[in-house]
Structure 1
Amino acid sequence: MSNIQPAGAVVVHGGVGSSTDNEDGCVLAARRALGQLEVNGDALDAAITAVATLEDDGRFNAGSGSSLGLDGATIEMDASIMDTRGRLGTVACVRDVKNPVRLARAIADTPHVMLAGEGAQQFARSLGMPGSDPVSDHQRSEHRQIMKELAGSVPLMPGIDNRLFDRFWNYKTPLQLPASKACDTVGAVVRGPDGHFAVACSTGGSAPCLLGRVGDSPIIGSGFYCGSLGAIAATGIGEHIIRHLLARTVYGWLEHGMTLEEALRRGVDLFDKDVDIGLIGVTKTEAGAYANKAMPHSRMTQR
């Protein structure tokens, strides 16, 4: 964490608990975001550019790398965007959309803030947005590992009995069970050279999860928030993040004069150590990241 001169800044993360071997993807996303800032100086465009880059990467749990549902076929994705110019849009449980973060941006121009499920997908089609890439070998491998571990006794979600997924099963196909989990979100926070802030997030959902599950990523104040003091994005297990309204809570500490570094650390410290949690943020003078597990990320500023 370091203080920086007021200028354009970008922080990107690839999901807490993800392999740091994937950090090159975050570096590329941050570079592209800075490039977008050079083009038009719009913080939101830069944040979306970063997240769309991670969605297209295939190694992160978003876009082309989204987690398969427990039925081994369904993919449901969430995304969000927000900036200090008043643009706010989120999408939940959308299927067959290549870049949900771009759909969230389009929703911000409608009379609504959030679209979900079939309506969101139809809206994407009306705009000519491309569908998802075919399911990859990486996604199928991750699904097989999750199903194997769901059959075991070690909770895949802290504090949650694996048997509850069987009890409340709501997919069309029956549960067929044969130490990994996917609860990652990708995100970016940006400070524009004009002092405006923006945040964008995208996720392929949590694994394991019931059909129709919505996490923290599209819920304002939970997975994301920005205001005149800065922008915050969270990553981790959404069910825990939502209960703390984590992003807004951290932003509130900034309002009370806490430094960004202190606020991010305090936010992560709200959780038990077995709950993976990460945060990134930018303010007028700072840009940083903090997590209780490995979290691929990149921080860059304009020269």
Structure 2
Amino acid sequence: MGNKEQGFAIVVHGGAGEPLEFADGCERAARQARSKLLETGDALDAAIAAVLVLEEDERFNAGTGSVLCLDGATIEMDASIMDTRGRLAAVAGVRDVRNPVLLARAVADTPHVFLAGEGADRLARALGLERAQPIRASQRDKHQKLLKELAGSVPAMPGIDNRLFERFWNYKTPLQLPPSAAHDTVGAVVRGPDGHFAVAGSTGGSAPSLLGRVGDTAIMGSGFYAGPLGAIAATGVGEHIVRHMLARTVYGYLEQGMPLQLALQRGIDLIDRDVDTGLIGVTRTQAASCSNTHMPIGKIEQQ
């Protein structure tokens, strides 16, 4: 492939509902993806490079910036990758990995496609992947701010009955439920100069949630999908995204001949407007994003 710059497209998101001021991080991630794409020509390499930038930016709920679970001590992270060369993998509930997206990529080289919890963490140790950093003051501050600012009568998670958390609570610590949610994800979709598509995503999970909760980021067809027509990534409340198999559903609209922007909007319209949701996508001729709230993005296109 060499360094010859041909047509390509990159779209990066920093999470539905995140401040637009965070777009600088998404733009930096998109530039890093472009550099990797020009270096290797591999769309998946580029998508992972973008996600790595956001996993290292503590403003985002992924990697080093992952939110604390409701016990104020545990972090559980999910990540995924998929491309049109046949590489597909995800990890869920990992606790001791600095960059879960690298672990997801590593799983794609094993006989499996999905590893979770302790087994995934053990694989990371065997491969020599860097361990998670100690919990930062900024993460503790964010957790305390969440507990204080969101106390009140706002639903703990849009569309979810708070009493379910009380009934099925599985932490060792008592239930002190903050009535709101952190459900951010970071993700990237890429069309390479050779026409291949790729998607990668990472998240620090959702708060509030039961210990062991897995959202859409690690579930193929829900938070991510890549096929011959393009790549789609979703962000929002996983419990809603999964019910609609949102990424694969939007890809189905592309199969019906729908333009990308319209397909993304139709996907957003499937989710209650009170539930923050976002989508990004690339096809052979288009690159776009759509959300029902503010969502920082970065985009680079070269025709």
TM, length-normalised to structure 1: 0.95
Match of 1:31 in 2: 31
Q: 1:264 to 1:173 in 2, by over 3 A?
A: same
CA contact (8 A) 1:148 1:177 kept: no
Q: 1:62 to 1:215 in 2, by over 3 A?
A: same
- Cα distance in 2 for partners of 1:157, 1:233 equals 21
**How far apart are 1:8 and its partner, in Å?**
1.2
Q: Residue 301 of structure 1 aligns to which amino acid in structure 2? A: E
**Structure 2 matches for 1:108-187, cutoff 5 A?**
108-148=108-148, 151-176=151-176, 181-187=181-187
- Cα distance in 1 for partners of 2:229, 2:88 equals 17
- Cα distance in 1 for partners of 2:176, 2:139 equals 18
1:181 is paired with a residue whose SS is: coil
Q: Residue deviations 1:271-294, cap 9 Å, x none?
A: 111011100000000001000000
Match of 1:3 in 2: none
CA contact (8 A) 1:153 1:162 kept: no
**Structure 2 matches for 1:72-83, cutoff 5 A?**
72-83=72-83
CA contact (8 A) 2:155 2:161 kept: yes
For structure 2, which runs of at least 5 residues remain unmatched after alignment?
Answer: 1-5
**Structure 2 matches for 1:38-53, cutoff 5 A?**
38-53=38-53
**How far apart are 1:164 and its partner, in Å?**
2.8
CA contact (8 A) 1:54 1:60 kept: yes
CA contact (8 A) 2:155 2:179 kept: no
CA contact (8 A) 1:27 1:298 kept: yes
- Cα distance in 2 for partners of 1:19, 1:137 equals 21
1:133 is paired with a residue whose SS is: coil
Match of 2:238 in 1: 238
CA contact (8 A) 1:146 1:207 kept: no
**Structure 2 matches for 1:262-273, cutoff 5 A?**
262-273=262-273
1:276 matched to 2:295? The reply is no
Match of 2:3 in 1: none
- Cα distance in 2 for partners of 1:95, 1:136 equals 14
**How far apart are 1:40 and its partner, in Å?**
1.0
**How far apart are 1:160 and its partner, in Å?**
1.9
- Cα distance in 2 for partners of 1:101, 1:79 equals 5
- Cα distance in 1 for partners of 2:232, 2:177 equals 38
**How far apart are 1:141 and its partner, in Å?**
2.2
1:250 is paired with a residue whose SS is: helix
Q: Residue 186 of structure 1 aligns to which amino acid in structure 2? A: V
Q: Residue 264 of structure 1 aligns to which amino acid in structure 2? A: L
- Cα distance in 2 for partners of 1:25, 1:41 equals 23
- Cα distance in 2 for partners of 1:223, 1:67 equals 19
**How far apart are 1:230 and its partner, in Å?**
0.2
TM, length-normalised to structure 2: 0.95
**Structure 2 matches for 1:61-76, cutoff 5 A?**
61-76=61-76
Q: Residue deviations 1:241-262, cap 9 Å, x none?
A: 0000000000000001000011
- Cα distance in 2 for partners of 1:107, 1:178 equals 35
How many pairs were matched up?
298
- Cα distance in 1 for partners of 2:71, 2:217 equals 22
Q: 1:18 to 1:180 in 2, by over 3 A?
A: farther
**How far apart are 1:130 and its partner, in Å?**
0.7
1:57 is paired with a residue whose SS is: coil
CA contact (8 A) 1:234 1:246 kept: yes
